């Protein structure tokens, strides 16, 4: 829809163009603002789509530290691409590929992957050591994982859901409800230098965690995920009620 005013303006411009006038500041051929799907600059794509959750410079966000060189060294291109295109199941990471309901083209997702690599990857991020693989190779043993938690996590995150440690509780139901097993694995192996979570070598005093220990502790933490996060709420009061009055609580039962 065009207003009469803008049509008149267009008409005037067309006349000027016909007259061959070269106005200063005259727009060049083509759209002045690129169409959203034509933007391929990493900084622009990252700022518009990712920074809100992963932090302005890929750190200090609520979601993982993408600028951590150890993270960039740990994850392979295909997994990085898949997380962006399809989202991360059971977390708040949305799917960005158009075929999955998102707004980014394949070329834009490639630009994000390449941009992250160019900006945040460092050679030898692990100082010559080989970390456990990005993806777990087998299912974890949750029962063993509880013991791993006690030796590798409890000193900073507290021994139980009721007793948070200095680094906050990772046993809280509302926290566990928003993460998945891969998030835990990624966080434990690559660490989060932006918030002080160590990498896989810094959890147990004196030695690195093994691949199995990481798999097992992640499985145990996931087994602690509540079915209904945040529940139960404190019981609804059954205070004395005068006949004919509305009940104190309007909760439906
Ligand atoms: C609404 C918040 C939100 C937005 C926006 C968002 N993410 Fe995420 N992302 C998350 C959450 C939550 C997770 C899973 C938890 C975690 O890894 O911290 C995640 C996980 C990821 C992972 C996988 C981490 C792993 O375990 O290996 C990648 C890669 C990623 N995001 C990249 C991106 C990129 C690139 C963008 C922008 C195109 C983006 N995210 C936008 C919230 C978001
Ligand atoms: C030396 C102390 C220390 C140990 C040991 C430790 N952590 Fe952490 N961890 C931290 C700190 C500090 C944070 C940041 C807390 C914050 O931001 O409030 C953190 C944060 C986290 C986070 C949250 C990241 C986020 O999205 O906010 C996860 C998940 C986590 N740790 C998992 C673990 C697991 C699993 C273990 C045991 C295998 C473990 N940590 C052991 C210090 C530790």
The CA 64 to ligand 1 mean position distance, Å, reads 7
Per residue in 141-158, is it b (16+ CB within 10 Å) or e — as a string? bbeebbebbeebbeeebb
Task: Using the mean position of ligand 2's atoms as its centre, give its distance from the Cα of residue 65 in Å.
Answer: 13
Neighbours of 220 (CB within 10 A): 21
The long-range contacts involving 154-162, CB below 8 angstroms and separated by at least 24 positions, are 161/224
How far is residue 245's CA from residue 134's CA, in Å, rounded to a whole number?
Answer: 60
In percent, how much of the chain has pLDDT > 90?
Answer: 73
Cβ of 217 less than 6 Å from ligand 1: no
CA distance from start to end of the chain:
50
Model confidence at 2: pLDDT above 50:
no
137 C-alpha to center of ligand 2: Å? 23
pLDDT of 248 strictly over 90? no
pLDDT of residue 244: 64
Q: Which residue has the higher pLDDT, 143 or 31?
A: 143
Could you report the per-residue pLDDT of 136-154, keeping only the tens digit for each?
Answer: 999 999 999 999 999 999 9
pLDDT computed for residue 34 by the predictor: 84
What residue's CA is closest to ligand 2, atom 2? 156
Asked whether 177 lines ligand 1 (CB < 6 A), one says: no
Q: Rounded distance, CA 150 to CA 144, Å?
A: 10
Q: How far is CA 56 from CA 52, 61, 79, 252, in A?
A: 7, 8, 22, 43
**What is the distance between the alpha carbons of residues 113 and 78, in angstroms, rounded to a whole number?**
9
Q: Ligand 2: distance of its center to the CA of 98 in Å?
A: 34
Residue to substitute in 53, 152, 170, 186 for testing ligand 2 pocket (most ligand atoms within 8 angstroms of CB): 170
Which pLDDT value is given to residue 242?
61
CA atoms within 13 A on the CB side of 26: 11
Q: Are 103 and 95 in contact (CB under 8 A)?
A: no
Give the nearest ligand 1 atom to 96 CA.
38
Asked if pLDDT for residue 115 goes beyond 90, the answer is: yes
Q: CA dist 186 to 135, 136, 229, 234, Å?
A: 8, 10, 23, 35
Atom 36 in ligand 1: residue holding the nearest Cα: 50
Q: Is the CB of 70 under 6 A from ligand 2?
A: no
- What is the CB neighbour count within 10 angstroms for residue 253? 5
What average pLDDT does the structure give for the chain?
A: 88
Ligand nearest to the CA of 93: 1
Mean pLDDT, residues 247-251: 48
> 61-88 b/e with 16+ CB inside 10 Å = b?
bebbbbbbbbbbbbbeeeebbebbbbbb
* 13 or 27, which is more confident: 27
To the nearest whole percent, how much of the chain has pLDDT over 70? 82
Looking at residues 181-208, what average pLDDT do you find? 97
Does ligand 1 have an atom closer than 6 angstroms to the CB of 186? yes
Q: Is the pLDDT of residue 4 over 60?
A: no
Give the model's pLDDT for residue 89.
93
| pLDDT on residue 230 | 74
Question: What is the distance between the alpha carbons of residues 13 and 174, in angstroms, rounded to a whole number?
Answer: 59
CB atoms within 10 A of CB 9: 12
């Amino acid at each position: 829809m065009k207003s009469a005013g803008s049509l008149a303006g267009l008409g005037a411009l067309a006349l000027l163009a016909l007259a061959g006038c070269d106005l200063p500041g005259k727009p060049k051929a083509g759209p002045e603002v690129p169409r959203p799907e034509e933007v391929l600059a990493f900084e622009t794509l990252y700022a518009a789509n990712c920074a809100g959750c992963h932090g302005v410079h890929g750190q200090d966000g609520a979601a993982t530290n993408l600028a951590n060189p150890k993270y960039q060294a740990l994850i392979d291109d295909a997994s990085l691409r898949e997380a962006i295109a399809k989202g991360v199941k059971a977390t708040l990471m949305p799917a960005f590929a158009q075929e999955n309901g998102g707004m980014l083209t394949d070329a834009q997702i490639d630009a994000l992957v390449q941009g992250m690599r160019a900006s945040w990857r460092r050679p030898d991020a692990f100082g010559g050591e080989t970390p456990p693989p990005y993806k777990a190779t087998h299912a974890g043993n949750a029962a063993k994982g509880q013991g791993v938690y006690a030796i590798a996590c409890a000193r900073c995150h507290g021994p139980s859901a009721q007793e948070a440690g200095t680094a906050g509780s990772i046993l809280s139901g509302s926290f566990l409800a928003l993460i998945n097993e891969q998030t835990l694995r990624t966080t434990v192996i690559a660490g989060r230098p932006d918030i002080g979570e160590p990498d896989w070598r810094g959890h147990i005093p004196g030695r690195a965690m093994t691949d199995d220990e990481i798999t097992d502790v992640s499985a145990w933490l996931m087994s602690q995920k509540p079915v209904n996060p945040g529940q139960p709420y404190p019981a609804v009061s059954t205070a004395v009620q005068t006949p004919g009055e509305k009940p104190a609580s309007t909760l439906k039962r």
